[in-house]
Structure formats: structure tokens, C-alpha cells
Structure 1
């Protein structure tokens, strides 16, 4: 297929370039035993300080450890009022005693103890993080969705944080979460660093590497259909996204391609101009967007493979001398 096309489909959205019939992956070795934990703290338990502190260690704590953060509004067990719950969820490629030493050195504020942790195989951890820890591994072969997800509507958006969000910014987030307390609304902070930062931004189309502390997913879900519900929840997440502008990446404001966000801009039903597509393309792919466009122009100049946010080919005017344009 050539080096350029092989580069493009490994992170540039394969649906822009053709139909993938097979893919060969090189797996990495993981230990026989891994360790997981999920520790939750509310505002009464110093959650604001813990979330603020987490931002300074999340991307550099240890290459064998990922420590995600989930934020949502709940009703306090202590006084019955609404509060924010911060859940610190971890997978460590090793045994519990090694994990405890790392956490004591890098994040002692969380107060992790051995009783919070569980050792298991890596495949069992897949069930654990999916909320299916009591199920048999056979459930991974099921092609039917779990019942709770049969009729659910949701909207998601994403951001990248290149610096820590101050406490004042976090308190503003808490207010937004309380607005949607009766629904499924949450923020997930996913740490970067480690192997993510060991490659240049042009190694693959995925450009969000060194310098990004964590990625943010905003999500709201509801179960009742209707335009009123839709407008209310979508308006909430858009207002939250606007509120976060001072705290996230800029020029462009980067987003995660796998959390496809049609708010950013969409292609026309026919061919789309480079200028139109670059509005969202530069946010998803950074400087790699231009190379993706050149590959698209070579392999699919008629734009047969397209969707709302597919990579566009250059117009026929540019097709006359693509090599000169590329140089």
C-alpha cells in the first residue's frame, strides 16, 4: 500500500481511505499478575485538593501505572446534600506491594492501603473496569449489549490539558456537575505521559503527545427521548465546554478523534474544501492533517470514502500538480 497510506490508516481514520479487510498487531507482554484499585473521595473527604494534586503527578507517576480520574455529582452519605465524587481508578502492571511503594512516594495524599487493591490477571482487569467483575470471561464473547445500554442517548466532547486546572477552575466544574446531578453526567481525566510521549507527534497521525498532561472527556447521558431532553443536555455540555476554554490547549484547541464531535464542523454531503475541513482537522490531527490530506488525494481523489468528518481530498485544481504542492 505504500508508506504514506500505511501511516495514514494507523490513527488517521481508516474510513477516509478505504475498507480494511485485515490488520496485524504486534502485542506487548504484560505480567501474569496486575493490580487494580478504585478509591473514591467526596468534597467532604478533601476531593478538591486530591484532584488538584493529581494533575501534577498523573503523567509522570510510573510507566507501568495508569491512574485515571472520574468526576461526577452524587448525594452525600454523610448529610444528604449534593457533593462531587472523585474516583481514582488504577491499573498497575505488577504486584500490590510494588504499587503501594510507588503511591506512597508519588501520591501519598490519596492514602492508598493494601485493602483497596486487588491482584488479578490482565484479562480479568478488562471485566473489572467494565463493571463486570462478577461475570465469567465468556461475556467478552457476547455480541449483545448489556441491558442498561439498550436505550441510552449521550453526548460527549473532549479536551487536552497542558497545564493544571487551578482550584478556582475545579470549583466551577463542580457547579456544572451539580446542574446535571439527576442524570448521568461525568468528566474523565485520562493521564498521558509514559510511552505516549516517547514518540514524535508525526510518528503516526495521532499528534497529541509530549506536553499533554491529560485528556478530558465530557459526557452526559439520558434515557428519555425527545427534543426537549436533547436540547437541555446538549446545551449543558456545550456551556461546560465553553467554560473550560481558559484551562485547556489552544491554537488550535485540540480534541480526541475517537470522541467524534460534530459540533466542531462537518463536511458537506459532496466534496469538502480543505479550508472547511481544516476547522476540525487541525484540532484532531494537528500538523499531521496536511499530510493526511495529501494521502487522501493520492488514494481516493474522487472522495468515494467519506463521512461527516472524513479526510477530504484536494480539489481538482490542486490535483494537477500534487508533488509541487507537497514540496
Structure 2
């Protein structure tokens, strides 16, 4: 009898080997036959391959004929498609990139220099809101706009603290931290995640209990793509008032912008925690003369009368008056902050492709001491000398100062006055053109060195920036990865490495800025206990 069993086992193994000797066959073998994976798999000879690939490339720097293309794309609409993709990428030695929206500034979720496949989550976009317990389950392929729309459909008294650009994908946004204009009252998106569903490197589907608290900690700000494919998130919604107030005020240098921005640094992180005032700075030409325009965008979780009282007491330098205050619902404020005209229908939040894509590069910094007026004026001069830069100052304080930097992998909490996003965007094609713009933003970043955090000079994970360091090919060492890892995660990087080593020892989920596994073949440096 044992000989027969052995023969059958060998025969079945042979059949499986024959059946799965190509990628399509392997994918079909390991996915649920009631949800055919062939219907959502795209190879380069498929006419749908180019539009599927291009649909969520938001940065045209990674959309050229010479940009490396994936061996195939799977756009899962069932969890078994993710499981099969992991199994078959392992079998055929193909690296996996996980894309949930495409707002990946340096293209790490859809470009690689080695054979790779993309698991594109855009079909997994369910948003299920439970008003009774003030929670929602949202799939990683949803956009922030779809989440906001789903919440507003069910309740006018609930919202969620996340980003202001509605086309950003939930998966990447949440797993990197996720901030927006309610962060001073409520903190980050990750501070309100209470459960998740992940497919790990072994193809297991795990919820919070199944994955354990360490892995659940890691994916809330440590970059989910280092640890698995996050299918969905359970979030706790937050209360929003029936009426919120917004304003947008512009000042040039000739209108006192330097003095106002200087003073903003002393109040923006200390003012009423329901008030978020962002400053967007850019060089413009007025009356034939170059100058700097400072745009003050604000959201206040209250009515105009309350806002005017707060501003008159704490920030009179801006000169806010009642006529500049616009009262509206929270969902309408989402549209205002996304630069839609007042009165626009929330239905636009369901549109995933609102504007033409551009070439871009972005970087980030944290400011911990106010920059002097003289130094600000030097920055303005430098901005006017280079190619079309934009600086965005995002204030901290409030709830952000109350949460420990070790509560989640996102460490940039107390001690920061504001975060800077550096941005340069262009439309002209050509490598020489790109080099000029890239050199301009890098020179500005270098210029800002004396005014920002140090040891480490910190960066925000969701503003992916390969300039600060990348892993080498294959399995990165701790030393290689810590160059960029300490900038994103500070001391939390070591805990992330330990968790990665335990949950994905073979380092299957890897890319240029993935957390390394110390158990992988060539990772020889150790983290001290």
C-alpha cells in the first residue's frame, strides 16, 4: 500500500510540475477557480497591458519607452489572486511591486531594474461604513476621495484624518503614516487604524489577531510593501462639526509675506488644535518683477466667528477678516482643499483621473527651530534663482505632540514645528530638461541643510525620495538600509528590521527602500539588542 501511495504522490507532483511550468498556468493553479485570475492578468502582448500600466503612473518620469516594464500585471479582485501572485513570483524568481494608487513620487511601486511583476490593487476598492460603531472597512485600492465620499454618504457628523489630494490610494497612504489638515486635532491616519487584513510572504491571509501586534504595529507607518500585501483596513472615524470654516489668502513679499511667514512659525503649531494653516510658497512674476507668493490655506473645525476670535488673538499679522471666511460642511471643505470651486458636487471625489499627469520630483524636511527673517529672505532669493520650485509648510503641534514617536513606526511627532515638502513640476520632455529641474530641487535641499532637523536629517516615508539612499541589488544589509531607514523611521528602524526578519526571513517583499531581513542570504550586519 505504501508503494502505491508513494507512486501516486510522485505522479501528482509530476502533474503539478507540468501544469505550472508557465506563469499563467501557475497563477491559475494557485487561485480560486470561481474567480478566474486569467481575467485580471495582463502580459505585455495583451492590448490592455499598456493602459493598465499607465493608468496609475502619476509621475511621467517613469512613463518613457526606456522605463523598465513588468513581466506581467495582476489586478486582483479576489484575495486568492494575491496569494497566487506571491506563490508564482517566488517560483519564477520575479520580484513583486505593489501599487495602490500611483502617487509614488519615485516610482518604487511600479518600476524595477530586475524582472518584476505588479500587483495593482485598483480593483479592490470597497468602502463599508458602519455609522453605529463609527468605523469603516476600506480596501487598499480605494482612493482617499472614495473613502471620504463613502463616509459623507452615511453621515454628516463623521470624517477621517487623511490627505487632501483625493486621487491618492489608501494602501500606500495609510501604510506610510497618512497626514492631512485635521492632523493637529486627530493625528495621523495610522493613529485610527484598528484592524487590517494582510497576505504575508507565505500566502496566508491574516487579520490583526493572526498577524500579531508586532506586524500590526509595523504596517501602520512602516511601509506595508516591506511586509506583505495589505488587502483592507479597519479605521475608526472621527467626529466633525456640522460647520467648518476655510480660507485662502495670498501675500507677496511686497505685501509683507516675509514678516507673516516668520510669525507663522511661532504660532502655527501652538494655535487652537482645530486650526490647520498650511503655507505654500512659490516664485512668481508681478509687474515684470520676480517675487515670492505665500498662499495661506486653512481649515478650522468650527464656525467663522470662532475662527476670527482665534486668529485675532493668536495670529493677527495675517489680517483675516470675515469676508475671507467661508463656512461649509466637512465634505465640502475636502473639495475646497483639493482646489475645486465652492459648490462643486462631492461626486468628483469618485473621479480617479482629474488632471493631466506631469513630470515631478519631491523631497521633504522637518523644521524644529524657527528660521530667522534674514534666513527666510535668503531662502526666497535662492527659490527665485532656480527652476519653478514650490515649498509647502505643514504645521505640527496639537495631537501630534501628544503621541509618542514609538507608538507607530512614524516617529516625527513632538519637537517639530512644521514639515516642508519641496516640489518641482514640469511638462517639457527630455533628459536634459529633467536634469535641470532635478538639479534645481537638489540644490535647494542642500541649501536648506542648516535650517532643518539633523542626526538624522529626517524625511517622510510617503514622500519617497531615492536621493537619501537605496538598497543595493539583492538582499540589502542593515548598514545599507539604515542610511535611508533612520531618516524615515529614526530609532523605530531597528524594530522594523527585527519584525521583517521574523515575518519575511527570505526577504521576498523587497525593493529599493524596503526594510531588510537579517536572515536573508547576504544580510550580514546585525541589529544590537
Category of TM-score, reference length = shorter chain: over 0.9
Deviates more, 1:213-222 or 1:128-137: 128-137
Structure 2 residue matching 1:22: 3-state secondary structure: strand
Match of 1:23 among 230, 233, 245: 233
Q: Deviations over 1:110-144 (max 9, x none)?
A: 11001111001111111111111253211111122
Paired position in structure 2 for 1:66: 276
Secondary structure of 2:238's match? Answer: coil
Say yes or no: does 1:7 pair with 2:211.
no
Q: Which residue of 2 aligns with 1:218?
A: 422
With normalisation by structure 1, the TM-score equals 0.93
- Partner residue of 2:376? 170
Compute the displacement of 1:315 (Å). Answer: 4.0
Q: Which residue in the other structure is 1:263 paired with?
A: 467
Shift of 1:179: 2.5
Q: TM-score, normalised by structure 2?
A: 0.58
In the alignment, which of 205, 228, 248 is matched to residue 452 of structure 2?
Answer: 248
Counterpart of 2:362 in structure 1 is 156
Residue number among 495, 504, 515 corresponding to 1:311 in the alignment: 515
Q: Which of 322, 344, 351 lines up with 1:114 in the alignment?
A: 322
Q: Map residues 115-154 of structure 1 onto 2, 5 A cutoff.
A: 115-134=323-342, 135-146=344-355, 149-150=356-357, 152-154=358-360
Match of 1:45 in 2: 255
Provide the residue aligned with 1:229 in structure 2. 433
Report if the CA contact (8 A) 1:59-1:192 is conserved.
yes
Structure 2 equivalent of residue 91 of structure 1: 299
| 2-structure distance, mates of 1:226, 1:90 | 37
When the two structures are aligned, how many residues end up with a matched partner? 317
What is the CA–CA distance in structure 2 between the aligned matches of 1:137 and 1:111, rounded to whole Å? 31
Contact 1:5/1:295 (CA < 8 Å) preserved in 2?
yes
1:287 pairs, out of 455, 473, 491, with 491
Contact preservation (8 Å) 1:124, 1:133: no
Aligned partners of 2:510, 2:225: CA distance in 1, in Å? 7
Give 3-state SS (helix, strand or coil) of 2:234's partner: coil
Q: SS where residue 25 of structure 1 aligns? A: strand
SS at match of 1:62: coil
> Are 1:35 and 2:35 counterparts?
no
Matches of 1:3 and 1:218 in 2, distance apart?
35
Q: Are the aligned partners of 2:367 and 2:418 in contact in 1 as well (CA < 8 Å)?
A: yes
Structure 2: which 5+ runs fail to align? Answer: 1-210
Displacement over 6 Å in runs of 4+: 317-320
Distance (whole Å) between structure 1 residues aligned to residue 412 and residue 345 of structure 2 = 36
What is the RMSD of the two structures over their aligned residues, measured on CA atoms? Answer: 1.7
After TM superposition, give the deviation of residue 306 of structure 1 in Å.
1.2
Q: Secondary structure at the match of 1:37?
A: strand
Q: Deviations over 1:145-164 (max 9, x none)?
A: 32xx33x1011110000001
Q: Give the 3-state SS of the residue equivalent to 2:379 in structure 1.
A: helix
Q: 1-side partners of 2:216 and 2:245: how far apart?
A: 35
**2:390 counterpart SS class:** strand
Instruction: Give the direction of change, closer, same or farther, for the CA distance of 1:223–1:259 in structure 2 (3 Å limit).
Output: same
Deviation at 1:50, TM superposition (A): 0.6
Task: For residue 238 of structure 1, give the secondary structure of its aligned residue in structure 2.
Answer: helix
2:230 aligns to what SS in structure 1? coil
Structure 1 or 2, whichever has the larger Rg, is 2
Aligned match for 1:82, one of 290, 293, 301: 290
1:57 aligns with 2:261: no
Determine the structure 2 residue equivalent to 1:207: 411
Distance 1:125 1:271 in 2: 45
Would you say the 8 A contact 1:187–1:218 is kept in 2?
Answer: yes
Q: Is the 8 A contact 2:506 2:520 kept in 1?
A: no
TM superposition shift of 1:167: 1.5
1:73-124 CA-partner distances (Å, limit 9, x unpaired): 1122xx3311111111100000000000000000001110011110011111
